[in-house]
Amino acid sequence: MKDDALPLPVQSPLLSTRTGNTVKHGYFTRAGGVSEGIYRGLNVGLGSNDERSRVEENRARVSAWFGAEPHRLATVHQIHSPDAVIVDGSYNGTRAPADALVTATPGLVIGVLSADCGPVLFADAEAGVVGAAHAGWKGALTGVLESTIEAMISLGARREHIVASLGPSISRRNYEVGSEFIERFLEKDTGYRVFFTPSPRDGHAMFDLPALTLKRLTEAGVTAENLDLCTYADEERFFSYRRTTHRSEPDYGRQISAISIREA
């Protein structure tokens, strides 16, 4: 492997099986990057305080893994919204304020950044449409997954043919929340109580973000899986906002999950 080549990222069995050779995807870890210190590894976060040149080199390595030039890696300025944008061959590097991207353009790589929130990759290989969504608690609750699916359908995807895979995100055993957080969910749907289990601290609970994400995906009519990888617990492979916060560190890196339709 060349010095600037990345190791094989985490793969989704569901996406790999259902898309064959028509789609390429990866849930990238910290491995193979040039960042140092608290950003050690493949930090792709343009919003971090890491050296810009290192972040750009890391992003270029992700693009190269897909066989694409750096300008063909499309991401958004993530704002924890329910919004999805459609990108095509005219993409010019502008990061729109949104939390999901969808494309039907072969060779264009679309990706989302995460550091505890759930990265979800989507594909309808038959229609040649892919999507990527950043689903933290706010995005999952307010509809970013559904928005991604609807954007894919607008490009010709069929709901029953879409498959989705949830990549590395924080697990229930490491996600403690307070009473106000819990009430926000119960105001939306009292049935969401199933996503909270008792915490050792009074008035707190452990929140199962991956389970909520899978429920929203399946209720939206797509086939979905959870790779069951906890960002908080696996420091060697993943960045984690919550782990950084608990350590009172000044900043944190972001990993990327990306997908592309192969060019003929």
- Per-residue pLDDT tens listing for the chain (264 residues): 355 679 999 999 999 999 999 999 999 999 999 999 999 999 999 999 999 999 999 999 999 999 999 999 999 999 999 999 999 999 999 999 999 999 999 999 999 999 999 999 999 999 999 999 999 999 999 999 999 999 999 999 999 999 999 999 999 999 999 999 999 999 999 999 999 999 989 999 999 999 999 999 999 999 999 999 999 999 999 999 999 999 999 999 999 999 999 998
Instruction: Please enumerate in sequence order all residues whose Cβ is within 8 A of that of 264, keeping only pairs 6 or more positions apart, or say none.
Output: 106
Decide if 247 is inside a domain: yes
Predicted local confidence at residue 1, as pLDDT: 39
* C-alpha R_g of the chain: 18
Predicted local confidence at residue 4, as pLDDT: 67
When divided into structural domains, the chain yields a total of: 1
Per this entry, what is the length of the chain? 264
Decide if 42 is inside a domain: yes
Domain that holds residue 254: 13-169+227-261
Q: pTM here?
A: 0.97
Decide if 44 is inside a domain: yes
Predicted local confidence at residue 264, as pLDDT: 81
Give the whole-angstrom CA distance, residue 158 versus residue 56: 35
Predicted local confidence at residue 2, as pLDDT: 52
Decide if 99 is inside a domain: yes
Decide if 255 is inside a domain: yes
Q: CB of 37 within 8 A of CB of 49?
A: no
Decide if 128 is inside a domain: yes
Give the whole-angstrom CA distance, residue 205 versus residue 196: 6
Supply the CATH number for residue 59's domain: 3.60.140.10
Q: Are strands 100-103 and 84-86 parallel, antiparallel or unpaired?
A: parallel
Decide if 218 is inside a domain: no
Decide if 221 is inside a domain: no
